Homo-oligomer: A and B are copies of this chain.
């Protein structure tokens, strides 16, 4: 049995790892790296650190306007699928690589499997939201992490092929903690907040980005900020001098282990990332999400995660309120990948 997996952006390399592990000896995996993320520390580092197979095909699509990026991916992915004739196609999450792979598989009538299906922010201005909704409506198997996601799909009339299997990123976090893999990555710094910010609504406008940075500058603890290439490029385009922010240390995008180690050793996370809201929850770090809404609604319970957007002045107060409890079963028990592989094999046979 042969499956093509489409990956292209940082969170997808990470999600792919448990899937590759669970596929071993069961499914022949052909990975297509679209080249959506291509910097060494946004891409290669994950393959090396997690000891993943190098991609079978790499497309070098790079950045560019969304339509061009998605269009170019579709043209190339189609050729690979025609050539390799897989029994199914796996796509992860909500990027343009997800949508491009999904559209091609659907048009060629190749069974399509969506990992991390059913999530909704209900904000159609997010490119991710459009990618998610569209991918879900053409998938044959939809692997969802939670009951809310099942309900979201039901509300859109999608009920067939939906399986609540837990979250694949939890598999990896559990693997990491069980094997004590963060040990050698603990940062030297102590008593800091960790931050990652890169979404358009926080970065695509000079005033907004400045407001976010100035807020971090005023916090009561030092902020270590993992600087996404998007944010870095926009800051430089706006002529912001990042060295002026003396309370913020900007660091390069981190390897997976090092990123989690920063998070685990922090006094709290400030982020607009999807995946990091969950990782903060699983590692029991307080999370402040700089957004109006989240797809990961369950993390909001018991104030483990807080949404702030217009008025960021409350970040410090909120960071101090630690949640009383964490649901250790949130988004599954860390064994979702092998459930998915089994369902896929069953579907194809």
Q: Which residue of B lies closest to A107 (CB)?
A: B66
The CA-CA distance from A157 to B67 in the complex, in Å, is 26
Residues of B within 8 A of A207 (CB): none
Per the 8 Å Cβ criterion, residues 46-101 of A in contact with B are 65-68, 70-75, 77-78, 82, 99-100
Residue-wise interface mask of A (278-295) relative to B, using a CB-CB cutoff of 8 A (1 in contact, 0 not)? 000000000000000000
Per a CB cutoff under 8 Å, which of B71, B108, B137 touches A66?
B108
Copies of this protein chain in the complex: 2
The CA-CA distance from A155 to B156 in the complex, in Å, is 7
Give the interface SS of chain A, mostly helix, strand, loop or mixed.
helix
The CA-CA distance from A99 to B104 in the complex, in Å, is 13
Q: Is A147 an interface residue (CB 8 A)?
A: no
Per a CB cutoff under 8 Å, which of B65, B70, B82 touches A82?
B65
The CA-CA distance from A137 to B156 in the complex, in Å, is 10
Q: Which of A122-130, A236-244, A265-273 contacts B (4 or more CB under 8 A)?
A: A122-130
Per a CB cutoff under 8 Å, which of B68, B103, B108 touches A75?
B68
Pair B134/A138 contact, Cβ less than 8 Å: yes
Q: Is A106 an interface residue (CB 8 A)?
A: yes
Pair B82/A75 contact, Cβ less than 8 Å: no
Q: Is A319 an interface residue (CB 8 A)?
A: no
Q: Is A7 an interface residue (CB 8 A)?
A: no
Per a CB cutoff under 8 Å, which of B67, B77, B156 touches A67?
B77
The CA-CA distance from A125 to B68 in the complex, in Å, is 26
Q: Is A109 an interface residue (CB 8 A)?
A: yes
Pair A67/B130 contact, Cβ less than 8 Å: no
Given the contacts A70-B74, A71-B71, A78-B68, A130 and B106 also touching, CB distance less than 8 Å: yes
Q: Which residue of B lies closest to A135 (CB)?
A: B134
Q: Is A133 an interface residue (CB 8 A)?
A: yes
Given the contacts A71-B73, A137-B133, A138-B134, A107 and B78 also touching, CB distance less than 8 Å: no
Residues of B within 8 A of A108 (CB): 65-67
A227 shortest CB reach to chain B, Å: 25
The CA-CA distance from A104 to B67 in the complex, in Å, is 5
Pair A72/B70 contact, Cβ less than 8 Å: no
The CA-CA distance from A19 to B67 in the complex, in Å, is 26
Residues of B within 8 A of A65 (CB): 78, 82, 107-108
Residues of B within 8 A of A124 (CB): 106, 138
Pair B156/A130 contact, Cβ less than 8 Å: no
Residues of B within 8 A of A67 (CB): 74-75, 77-78, 103-104, 107-108
Given contacts A68-B78, A71-B73, A137-B156, 13 further A-B contacts (CB under 8 A): A65-B78, A65-B107, A65-B108, A66-B78, A66-B104, A67-B77, A70-B74, A71-B71, A74-B74, A107-B130, A109-B125, A134-B138, A137-B137
What is the interface of chain A, defined by CB distance below 8 A to chain B?
A: 65-68, 70-75, 77-78, 82, 99-100, 103-104, 106-109, 124-125, 127, 130, 133-134, 137-138, 155-157
Q: What would 7 A/B residue contacts be, using CB atoms closer than 8 Å?
A: A66-B107, A67-B77, A67-B104, A68-B75, A71-B73, A106-B124, A107-B130
